[in-house]
Structure 1
Amino acid sequence: MSLREAARGLVFFLLSVLAVQGEDGWRFTYAPTQICTIKGSTVTIHCTFSHPSRINDHDVTVERTFWFTEVQNKEPEDLRTDSKYAGRVQNHCGESDCTLTITDLRESDSHVYEFMLITGQGGRFIGSPGVKLTVTGFSVLITKTSWCTYPSCTWSDVQCHTSCVLNNRPSYVWYINGQNKQRQNLHFTHNFYSEDSVSCAVKGFENSPSAPVCVHGNSCNRVNYRDRSICAFKGSSVDISVDYHSFYNPTSKFWFVAEPNDRWRYGNKAKIQEQVGRFQVLETAGGRSTLRISNLRESDSAHYRFIFDPYTWWTSLPGTTLTVKDPDLQVQVIWSPSGPTLTCHSSCLLSERSSFVWYKNGTKIQGETSPSFRGLLDPGDFYSCAYERHRSLPVYAPKVPSVLMSHPGDIFKDSSVTLTCSSDAYPPHTYAWNKENQKLGSEPHLVLSSIQSSDSGEYYCTAENELGKTSSKYVLINVKYAPQTSIVSVSPPGVIVEGRPVNLTCSSDSNPAATFTWYKESRTLFRGPEGVYRFSSISSGDGGVYRCKSENQYGQTNSTSLHLDVQYAPKPPSVSASPSAETVEGSSVNLTCSSDANPAANYTWYKENKDSPKASVQIFTIADIRAEHGGNYLCAAENRRGRRHATLRLTVVTGAWKSMVTGTILAVFLLFILLAVFLWSRRHKSITQQSECSKRADGGAQLGPVSDQRPAAPAVLQDDLEYTSICFNQSQTDAVYSNIRWVHPPREREEDKEEEDGVEYSAVRFHSSATGTGSQEDVEHSSPLYSTVKLNYKSTM
């Protein structure tokens, strides 16, 4: 059986039950809860745990785990920081379990061991009742003694005893005066002499035998080594000590080197004290011998034994095993509830009696000789430890990390960027990447492949070890890209009402920021860096289709069209009647009302002085009109935004008036026609007379002056006689035409009167001013239409 297998086999369980603490979702399980094992062995204590995933709306994360021994009225302390356990304790913890391993067990390790868990929110939870560990050694009990023939010799029955209940019927090894007797039972009966000593061990653990016991009295031959194994650094010094007693006065005593199971006979091995230089044997009163070896070498690694005469003929009792190694001191930083603790650690299990030296920033710290340093630690300082002039590397918190970007300059969408975090620290530290308050990763390199606009932001990294945590400066990643989208939105949302303020906003995701161009239908409104188009008081004419364009130096994009529907109250209505607002009794008429409104208006017709509506339509038709239908009609145009109205006067014409009105209209029409013909005829004759007068003037015709004498009426009336031709001498000036009036013609003969029916006469009165008083002449003639033309002129004669 190997030593490791034997160690496993000698962990004895007195009780194997589950320890459970299930309050509020927390659960700790130990299996077993009591362990009994022997000195020098190795023990493993195991705990599994679980916890709720969330507490008070926060995720529960386990930050720290450690084992401690139950000490009354004392803050729990991580075993790894206790100098008594230095180099002998290891923790192996996972997400739901944790294992404590203690090697080279000592009887002083007998304690109750408990597990503590600390969350990221600062909660502290202890799994009770823990595991009770009992460490015990072996002792020899003399159960029976009987005398024989010789008084100095007795038959005695001895037993190898331990307080643990050993399972699997282990084998035992018995030693008399250090010689292996090859006995394997729990009890051993032998004929012992007065000088004999006896000791025992469990097979596989011969390096941890019981102390020798005298069968008769206390003056037998016995040797007891203080350390069964010692580890030391090359170049250092070591003391190997033994307590001994001789039944007789010893004739010689010395140290020698042998393999642990070698049988040694005198003369086969060189005495160590015969060597000079590095070896020294120190004898003290009371039976103690110490072998001191200086400036250790790896070749000094061996099994050392001490013998004395007459205890020299044979011995196989294990001595002290020395292991010499290269110095590998290092400072371990172990967290505890009271803060970080430094422990001077090595692959050698350095003796707890060893003296250590501690340094801060290269200066020795006075009074610190323990393998653990418990002073106040400053994250900015360096700490190291030394043993036998061998010094560890310093430990220190991480320095401020630096961040290197793989892609300097502008970063474009879909490219790849790598950020590298570096920091100086010892012991080795861990990294963490963050973007604002978002955790991204725990590697020194952060790779952003196919980078997107959402990756823009400030990044930083942290470096952390047990001594502290530091963060780098922020690194800005600014991803450049063309506008991705253009979206038009209306504020305030909902229905748009005329007269209220309205904003159209063009939103675009781009970097750098986009410039915006606004359009209404195909007309450009404006272009600028602000994506808001404002209406301080929107009107009905502002309705229509709007869109925007977003652009920067990397591209552009157009928004979808937005139809802006502006609601407003009806405008003043327009009313009309068809065919006319003045209609004849018995006919029909359509009254039409129209108004500009959004939403479309509803129309209602009212008769003047009537409360109830006549109709709720846009076109109100009245068939078979009667006199009572006449009057004022009011049209009301209404929608949810308001109400407007207008009035129409409807006139109804009866049957008598119909003929009169028709005749009047016809007479007026004919009068206009006659007047037009008359005016045209006069214009034509005027032009003709002017032409004839011009001819007369050219022919020497001369008109004499007009005197006061009245011209004689013509005696004979001729057909087609015209009294409308008037000629004026060109020498006469200032002709004035006035006093055109109706006059009565002179009496004439009846026969002439009959012939003159239908002839139109014009009486022309001339007023001339000369040296004397002018005269007037009235020409009267009976005709259906008479006119008087008064002409005023001055004579030039």
Structure 2
Amino acid sequence: MAEVSQQLQSSWFNPTDVFSCGLKGHEKFPSPSVYAPKLPSVSVSPSAEIVEGSSVTLTCSSDANPAAKYTWYKENGNPDVQRPSEEPQLVFSSIQSSDSGQYYCTAENKLGRKTSNNFSVNVKYAPKLPSVSVSPSAEIVEGSSVTLTCSSDANLAANYTWYKENQTLPHGQQAIYHLTSIRSEDRGNYYCKSENQHGQINSTSQFIDVQYGPKLPSVSVSPSAEIVEGSSVNLTCSSDANPAAKYTWYKENEDSPKASGQIFTITDVRPEHSGNYYCEAQNRIGHQNSTLHLIVVAGSMKSVAAGSITAIFLAIIFLCAFLFIRRKRSWKRTSEPGERPDNQAQENMGSVYDSPSAPVQRTPAEPHKDFCYASVIFSKNQEDSLYSNIRLAQPHRHKEEEEDEDVEYTTVNFKSSSATTESGNQKAAEELYELYSTVSKHPRV
């Protein structure tokens, strides 16, 4: 038998041939046939869809005698997937997506060798971690076109959903998201979700930094109340810009800037500071201006003085009314029969002085008219006069009675708190507040 095997190996034969041997004279009892392997076939278990992580077995089978030995190969992969063995199975205990591909096996014995047809292993798996790319990758300026692309390895093919700051973008399930004219409001974090029937996964966030020129600045004043002479004022300019804006302050009709920086401080406000101010917000993309109208009012001392003038004026009116009532009573007494006012008027006529500094002059009263004058001198080197002229109705009187009227002068001196006792005497004189009241009055009976 060994001699026959030796002869078969040394002679040329067709691998499909079948051989047997027998003893001479006993040809009716041949030995079992020997032959090379037939074309191997490949099967897979389980036969359903192959999902990543599951256990998969590939089996190679071939009819051969003597029994064949098998070797597995992956096309374009490692040629020695499994060492030759008598076991025809190739086992994946936890198959991975990288195991997908074309497999084939060979069956071989001493009489020959056969190779199977290719068998495709298609491993289904959920999407891998997606990546997001931005085009253009350089600086993104407002108004330009931007494209976001989401890429994820998946089997079956993945569908994509886009998000901005956890808000779904209305785009459909596409891997590419277009921003045809990007705006400053589009600035933020973007990411995508990749999903198929085997699972889903989100990408990491991609920050889109949209650069834009300053928006229209807003200007505020602090304190926001009335701006009083001598106080301190802060003007603040604010503008939305990317990159951050730089600020410059100007006053209308002046070429040179007043200040730079977001806050402009005027420490000692004077009336000449009134006017229109504007700030310019600027970055390398653009600039914008905003205007503010500033009004400076008189100081607190002038406000007090204005109140004092009002109070004095009211006091004069009350004084005139009081004297008018007294005079009216006097008219009634002098109009009684049998009385002669001539001598009595001569005896009772007199002058009243509230202040020795006010000279007294006697002037004849104008017929049929009584006048009350009030004059107020206020502020520095400037006189603001307030006159109150009241004409009082009178009954008909004798000419002698009209000529014998008494005149009262009242002088009220107010000294300014800003006057000093030494070198400020002249200044105090200039700031003297004076009130003159002249009342024409018939003498009492």
TM-score (normalised: structure 1): 0.31
Unaligned runs of 5+ in 1: 1-232, 234-324, 333-342, 345-357, 362-379, 668-748, 753-797
Alignment of 1:337-356 (within 5 A): 343-344=10-11
Task: Please tell me whether residue 617 in structure 1 is matched to residue 256 in structure 2.
Answer: no
Q: Per the alignment, in what secondary structure is the counterpart of residue 414 of structure 1?
A: coil
**Cα distance in 2, alignment partners of residues 400 and 529 from structure 1:** 47
Return the letter of the residue paired with 2:159: T
User: For 2:42, which of 403, 418, 421 is the aligned residue?
Assistant: 403
Q: CA-to-partner distance for each residue in 1:567-603, whole Å, 9 max, x for gaps?
A: 3222132334456899665444332211112343232
Give the match for residue 603 of structure 1. Answer: 247
Unaligned runs of 5+ in 2: 28-32, 311-392, 397-445
Contact 2:218 2:290 in 1 (8 A): no
Return the letter of the residue paired with 1:455: D
Identity over aligned residues, as a percent? 54
**Cα distance in 1, alignment partners of residues 63 and 254 from structure 2:** 99
Aligned-residue offset at 1:546? 4.2
Give the match for residue 287 of structure 2. Answer: 644
Task: Please tell me whether residue 431 in structure 1 is matched to residue 75 in structure 2.
Answer: no
Alignment of 1:26-175 (within 5 A): none
Contact 1:459 1:474 in 2 (8 A): yes
Alignment of 1:667-706 (within 5 A): none
Give the match for residue 437 of structure 2. Answer: none
Aligned-residue offset at 1:408? 0.7
Give the match for residue 54 of structure 2. Answer: 415
Give the match for residue 328 of structure 1. Answer: 5
Distance 1:415 1:653, change over 3 A: closer
Alignment of 1:631-780 (within 5 A): 633-640=277-284, 642-648=285-291
Structure with larger RCO (C-alpha < 8 A, sep 6+):
2
Return the letter of the residue paired with 2:98: S
Task: Please tell me whether residue 567 in structure 1 is matched to residue 211 in structure 2.
Answer: yes
Task: Please tell me whether residue 441 in structure 1 is matched to residue 87 in structure 2.
Answer: no
Give the match for residue 113 of structure 1. Answer: none
**Cα distance in 2, alignment partners of residues 422 and 403 from structure 1:** 7
**Cα distance in 1, alignment partners of residues 106 and 136 from structure 2:** 46
Give the match for residue 23 of structure 1. Answer: none
Contact 2:194 2:200 in 1 (8 A): yes
Contact 1:481 1:554 in 2 (8 A): yes
Aligned-residue offset at 1:469? 7.8
Contact 1:574 1:646 in 2 (8 A): no
Q: CA-to-partner distance for each residue in 1:659-693, whole Å, 9 max, x for gaps?
A: 89x99xxx9xxxxxxxxxxxxxxxxxxxxxxxxxx
Q: Per the alignment, in what secondary structure is the counterpart of residue 161 of structure 2?
A: strand
Distance 1:438 1:613, change over 3 A: farther
Q: Which has the larger radius of gyration?
A: 1
Alignment of 1:378-397 (within 5 A): none
Q: Per the alignment, in what secondary structure is the counterpart of residue 541 of structure 1?
A: helix
Distance 1:469 1:528, change over 3 A: farther
Return the letter of the residue paired with 2:156: P
**Cα distance in 2, alignment partners of residues 466 and 499 from structure 1:** 76
**Cα distance in 1, alignment partners of residues 38 and 282 from structure 2:** 79
Give the match for residue 450 of structure 1. Answer: 94
**Cα distance in 2, alignment partners of residues 381 and 547 from structure 1:** 62
Give the match for residue 336 of structure 2. Answer: none
**Cα distance in 2, alignment partners of residues 331 and 422 from structure 1:** 25
Aligned-residue offset at 1:482? 3.8
Alignment of 1:492-531 (within 5 A): 492-493=136-137, 496-521=140-165, 523-526=167-170, 528-531=172-175
Aligned-residue offset at 1:448? 1.2
Contact 2:144 2:182 in 1 (8 A): yes
Contact 1:576 1:648 in 2 (8 A): no
Distance 1:597 1:581, change over 3 A: farther
Task: Please tell me whether residue 592 in structure 1 is matched to residue 236 in structure 2.
Answer: yes
**Cα distance in 2, alignment partners of residues 609 and 459 from structure 1:** 87
Aligned-residue offset at 1:490? 4.3
Contact 1:331 1:395 in 2 (8 A): no
Return the letter of the residue paired with 2:4: P
Contact 2:46 2:57 in 1 (8 A): yes
Contact 1:580 1:589 in 2 (8 A): no
Q: Per the alignment, in what secondary structure is the counterpart of residue 518 of structure 1?
A: strand
Contact 1:584 1:653 in 2 (8 A): yes
**Cα distance in 2, alignment partners of residues 330 and 613 from structure 1:** 113
Across the aligned residues of Structure 1 and Structure 2, the Cα RMSD in angstroms comes to 5.0
Contact 2:217 2:290 in 1 (8 A): no
Return the letter of the residue paired with 2:78: Q
**422-431 or 539-548, which deviates more:** 422-431
Return the letter of the residue paired with 1:421: C
Contact 2:231 2:269 in 1 (8 A): yes
Contact 1:605 1:614 in 2 (8 A): yes
**Cα distance in 1, alignment partners of residues 302 and 110 from structure 2:** 121
Aligned-residue offset at 1:644? 0.9
Distance 1:514 1:751, change over 3 A: farther
Aligned-residue offset at 1:619? 1.7
Return the letter of the residue paired with 1:441: Q
Distance 1:624 1:421, change over 3 A: same
**Cα distance in 1, alignment partners of residues 145 and 114 from structure 2:** 53
**Cα distance in 2, alignment partners of residues 589 and 476 from structure 1:** 82
**Cα distance in 1, alignment partners of residues 8 and 259 from structure 2:** 103
Distance 1:639 1:461, change over 3 A: farther
Return the letter of the residue paired with 1:535: L
Higher helix share: 2
Contact 2:73 2:104 in 1 (8 A): yes
Give the match for residue 373 of structure 2. Answer: none
**642-651 or 589-598, which deviates more:** 642-651
**Cα distance in 1, alignment partners of residues 39 and 256 from structure 2:** 89
Distance 1:474 1:630, change over 3 A: farther
Distance 1:543 1:470, change over 3 A: farther
Aligned-residue offset at 1:495? 5.3
Task: Please tell me whether residue 538 in structure 1 is matched to residue 182 in structure 2.
Answer: yes
Aligned-residue offset at 1:404? 1.7
**Cα distance in 1, alignment partners of residues 118 and 255 from structure 2:** 79
Contact 1:575 1:646 in 2 (8 A): no
Distance 1:629 1:507, change over 3 A: same
Q: Per the alignment, in what secondary structure is the counterpart of residue 98 of structure 2?
A: helix
Distance 1:424 1:569, change over 3 A: farther
Contact 1:583 1:652 in 2 (8 A): yes
Distance 1:584 1:527, change over 3 A: closer
Contact 1:576 1:591 in 2 (8 A): yes
Q: CA-to-partner distance for each residue in 1:379-404, whole Å, 9 max, x for gaps?
A: x98799x9xx99xx9987x7654322
Give the match for residue 332 of structure 2. Answer: none
**Cα distance in 1, alignment partners of residues 167 and 237 from structure 2:** 34
Aligned-residue offset at 1:637? 1.9
**Cα distance in 1, alignment partners of residues 187 and 250 from structure 2:** 32
Alignment of 1:190-205 (within 5 A): none
Task: Please tell me whether residue 553 in structure 1 is matched to residue 179 in structure 2.
Answer: no
Return the letter of the residue paired with 1:637: A
Aligned-residue offset at 1:539? 1.4
